[in-house]
Amino acid sequence: MKRILLVEDEPLIQKSLKKLLEKKGVEVTVESRGREAIQLILNQKFDRIICDLMLQDISGFDVIEESKARFTIAEISKLFIIITAYSSPHVIEKAQQYGCLLLSKPFENIEEALAIFLSEGAQ
Amino acid sequence: MEDQSPAGIKEVKKYLSFNLDELVALPLKAKPLRFTKSSFEKRVFHNLKQHSSCIDLQKKFQYKEEIRKLLLTTTEIKELPKAILKLSPLSSFETCHVLVHEKGKPVGQNYFFNYSNYEETRLISIQSFNTLFNLVKKSKNKIFNQSLNMKEDLDVVGNFLAKEIDLKNYSVIYLISRNSFLPPSQEEQEFFQGLSMHLQPLLARILDKDKNDLKKEVLRKSLENFPEKIFVKKNQQIIFSNHNNDGPVENSHLMVFPIEGEDHTVMELSNLSKDAISTELYHSQRVSLLGELLNTLQHELSNPLFGLNLTGQLLASDAPDEETKEILNEICTNANRSQTIIKNFSNLYNDQQEYKKLQVYNFIEEVITLTKSETKEIQKCIECVGFEKTDKLEIKTNSTALTQIIFNLIINAAQAIKSNSENVRNHKIVIKLIREGSAITIAVVDDGPGVKPELAKTIFEPFFTTKDSGTGLGLSICQNLARQLGSKIHFQNNTPFPGATFSLNLPLA
């Protein structure tokens, strides 16, 4: 686990998570807009993409959908981890369709959350 | 009987000197004309009969009096044709029509009476009505004959007399016929035409009354068909109801409206039928709106609060000194607390139909948090009776409804305390949780002034309030909500110390 892309538009969460992850010794790229995130995903190599769902321009699911241009479903399910404050049944179901792990904000235990982000390939 | 006559007789003499036109023009309410029944009048007529020249005058008085009678006794338009035919100057006529058209309406009414006592009301087309009306209006002698092509509308044979009356909202034609070609006499014509000036105010009065009656009828119909039970009571007696078969409903289900301008008269509206509408509908709409609002709020606040918490934790772990670390931890704690509060809010206002298990003690704690701003400075505590807080007793209920109830009861308690005391710090609200076998009683106990005994029966009634700004719906809604939960709110004043206790009993899960 070397490079992580964090797509999150809430500045405090973005900055803190970046710091916390960097402390664990990984390189973190942050992005708050969905469209820019897609470009990064298509053109750069990341070992993990942590993606918020409610972005200012498009939704996190759109970002994942666009990533299909480069990745298979199987790859996507391991690459992406969705973080959201709107964990409605509908959202959970959709995340399951991509096979992605979903973490609800606020995280109950930050250390656990960090561990999940750093794990090699989520289930 | 010249100049020494008493004033009354002078008056009569004055009237006797009038000709018919002048007599007809006399105001009807003028008292001196009401003398037909008096012995005085009989005496006058008796004297008059001695002189044949006075017979005409006597007749005119009789006619005048008959018209008065007609005007006094006719209250409905359909009685008018019969009344007109009864007038003795028109005694040789057999049929009478009164045609009425309310301006702007597509049809007119045709009221008919004939001397075989046949009475009928039918409709007349506006075309026929207008044709006749204009014809009558233009005619000078007001004599017509059946050559007019109106056989369908008019039951006349031969000549007839007709006169039009134009009112503000109505056009009226009255016509009489003796069903022969014998022309009416001059006297009859004069009388007939003179009648119109008396009929005019009468018609204006009774036609508008008919219109008002129609309005009342429409109103009555709509009340009768109203889906909820309605009782109109005067002095506690039911004078109108749209549910004849059922008895009166319980007081606590009623909305009561006084009727303006009617003393001791109220309209009672049952607001609890099968579907339980009115206040409950209003309330449930409000709650679901609040639920949506809180959901949005939760989501919108959740993110930044989480950010605050994360940042705080991060900075705290890197803090250069203990004081900074403490402050940062404080920020985290507060952000967390805010998050919990907003989350609990929206949990409390979730799906209104959902029944779920909840821990009584925690639940009450959360509701108390909700009431914080209203109960500021008043002490609040939860007392467990028959169990320990650590027992984590659960009930299965609808948290939205129960929150509403307890929330309202606590707010009411706080307001009662505030209304009665300057120093609210000395007061407290106790929420007692009493375990009774497989059930639990939740009681909200305050040490305010309590409820005046004479008001105790009415406090659950809708629109009952002792507060200036109250809607009077709080307790009645609570009672309805409690009923939905299969319970009932009981009230009693505390003894020996003042205050009130509102309680409800719920089964444990």
Stretch among A117-121, B113-117, B223-227, B452-456 having the lowest mean pLDDT: B223-227
Q: Which carries the bigger pLDDT value, residue B415 or residue B461? A: B415
Q: What pLDDT, in 10s, does the model give residues B155-197?
A: 777 888 888 888 888 889 998 888 888 888 888 888 888 888 8
The pLDDT of residue B16 is: 61
Cβ–Cβ pairs < 8 A, chains A and B: 42
Note the residue count of chain B: 509
Q: What pLDDT, in 10s, does the model give residues B281-314?
A: 666 666 667 777 777 788 788 889 999 999 998 9
Q: Mean of the pLDDT values across residues B201-207? A: 84
Q: Mean of the pLDDT values across residues B37-64? A: 65
- Interface contact A10-B299, CB threshold 8 A: no
Contact residues, chain A, for B304 at CB < 8 Å: 10, 12
Q: Which CATH superfamily is domain B78-213 in?
A: GAF domain (3.30.450.40)
**Does the pLDDT at position B211 exceed 50?**
yes
Of B186, B131, B187, the residue nearest B164 (C-alpha) = B131
Tell whether B297 lies on the interface with A, counting CB pairs under 8 A.
no
Return all residues near B40 (Cβ < 8 A) that are at least 6 apart: B8, B9
**Does the pLDDT at position B1 exceed 80?**
no
The pLDDT of residue A120 is: 77
- Radius of gyration of chain A, Cα coordinates, nearest whole angstrom: 13
Contact residues, chain B, for A11 at CB < 8 Å: 307
CB A123 within 8 A of CB A80: no
Q: Mean of the pLDDT values across residues B21-32? A: 53
The Cα B190–Cα B176 span in angstroms is 13
Tell whether A105 lies on the interface with B, counting CB pairs under 8 A.
yes
Q: Mean of the pLDDT values across residues B384-409? A: 88
What fold characterizes domain A3-118?
A: Rossmann fold (3.40.50)
CB A25 within 8 A of CB A68: no
Q: Which carries the bigger pLDDT value, residue B69 or residue B254? A: B69
In percent, the amount of chain B with pLDDT more than 70 equals 75
Tell whether B337 lies on the interface with A, counting CB pairs under 8 A.
no
The Cα B133–Cα B300 span in angstroms is 75
The pLDDT of residue B35 is: 44
Q: What pLDDT, in 10s, does the model give residues B455-476?
A: 887 788 766 677 666 666 678 7
| Dihedral, CA of residue A57, residue A60, residue A65 and residue A71, to nearest 10 | 120
Per-chain mean pLDDT for chain B: 79
For residue B504, count CB atoms less than 10 angstroms from its CB and return exposed for 0-12, middle for 13-18, buried for 19 or more.
buried
Q: Please tell me whether the peptide bond between B496 and the residue prior to it is cis, using omega within 30 degrees of 0.
A: yes
In percent, the amount of chain B with pLDDT more than 90 equals 14
Three-state DSSP at B387 gives coil
Tell whether A15 lies on the interface with B, counting CB pairs under 8 A.
yes
The pLDDT of residue A39 is: 95
Contact residues, chain A, for B306 at CB < 8 Å: 10, 13, 85, 105-107
What fold characterizes domain B351-509?
A: Heat Shock Protein 90 (3.30.565)
Identify each DSSP E strand in B325-389 by its residue range.
Answer: 356-359, 379-385
Helix locations, B18-125, DSSP H:
20-25, 39-49, 55-73, 80-86
- Facing residues of B240 across strands? B232
The pLDDT of residue B21 is: 60
